[in-house]
Amino acid sequence: MRTEDILAAIAEHKDQLALVMMPGVQYYTGQYFDIKAITKQGHDCGALVGFDLAHAFGNVPLQLHDDGVDFAVWCSYKYLNSGPGAVSGVFVHERHSSNPDLPRFAGWWGHDEAERFQMKKGFVPMEGADAWQLSNVNVIPSAAHLASLEMFSKAGIYNLREKSILLTGYMEYLINELNTGGEVIKIITPSDSGQRGAQLSLCLSSGGKEVFIQLGKNGIVADWREPNVIRVAAVPMYNSFEEVWLFADQLKRLVRN
């Protein structure tokens, strides 16, 4: 999807738009969208702009505040490594933080703590970010989440991004080597490193599901998406260049067979 086409669609429908809602990284193709440009276009057309960052958070650097995003949501069990059922994340721009009349999913943990246990009718939000909490935190998964966030803080998201670009570029190079005699594997993720994260989505001309199954039997953890896509993510936090080579070598053997 071209950025200019997205911006044109927003402009075309501006008289009907109340909200622009998009993924930061598209789950199927792995495309990383231009959050700043989309947000600006939405605001210029009078709409609020929000993003689903399930496949972006922990994958690519984000500047939600500086980009002017109104709100965003994400889970923590993908690139943040925190496990199923772990705490979700919500970003709300500070320009909305003190507006008690803004429609929201109101949870009792976001209610004014001075009145919370009085169980009165109506919702009186806390000031700032606390107003957006829905419930008290699940302690055990949050311990894993905290450990993961400490690793991200130590490694640095921009260092991880630099390695991610190199890893994914190396994987793309090795896969393209398999196509020297004709396109056997089509990469539907954009080739521009600025428009993708750690994921490459591969379409095989035939036998894709069987190749995916055999990869798993050989210790390669990938992901199948109907009808014909294998999603592969070389995650910079814990994947190496050697592992990328081993994946490509296994893929080459399976494709040739």
**Maximum Cα–Cα distance for the chain, whole Å?**
72
Residue pLDDT, tens place only, 149-190:
999 999 999 999 999 999 999 999 999 998 877 788 999 999
pLDDT value at residue 224: 96
Provide the CATH number for the domain formed by 3-155 in this structure: 3.40.640.10
Mean of the pLDDT values across residues 120-138? 86
- The whole model's pTM is what? 0.91
Tokens of 51: 């993003």
Question: Could you give the count of Cα atoms lying within 13 Å of 178 in the half-sphere of its Cβ?
Answer: 24
Q: Which residues contact 249 (CB under 8 A, 6 or more apart)?
A: none
Residue pLDDT, tens place only, 51-67:
999 999 999 999 999 99
Domain definitions of the chain by residue range: 3-155, 157-256
Amino acid at 219: G
Q: How would DSSP label each residue in 97-162? A: TT-TTS-----GGGB-TTTGGG--SS--BPSGGGGG--S---HHHHHHHHHHHHHHHHH-HHHHHH
pLDDT value at residue 182: 76
3-state secondary structure of 173: helix
Tell me yes or no: is domain 157-256 CATH 3.90.1150.10. yes
Report the distance separating Cα 205 and Cα 185, nearest Å: 6
Mean of the pLDDT values across residues 116-145? 87
Residue pLDDT, tens place only, 92-124:
999 998 787 888 888 888 999 999 889 888 889
Strands laid side by side in the 185-187 sheet: 185-187, 199-204, 229-233, 223-225
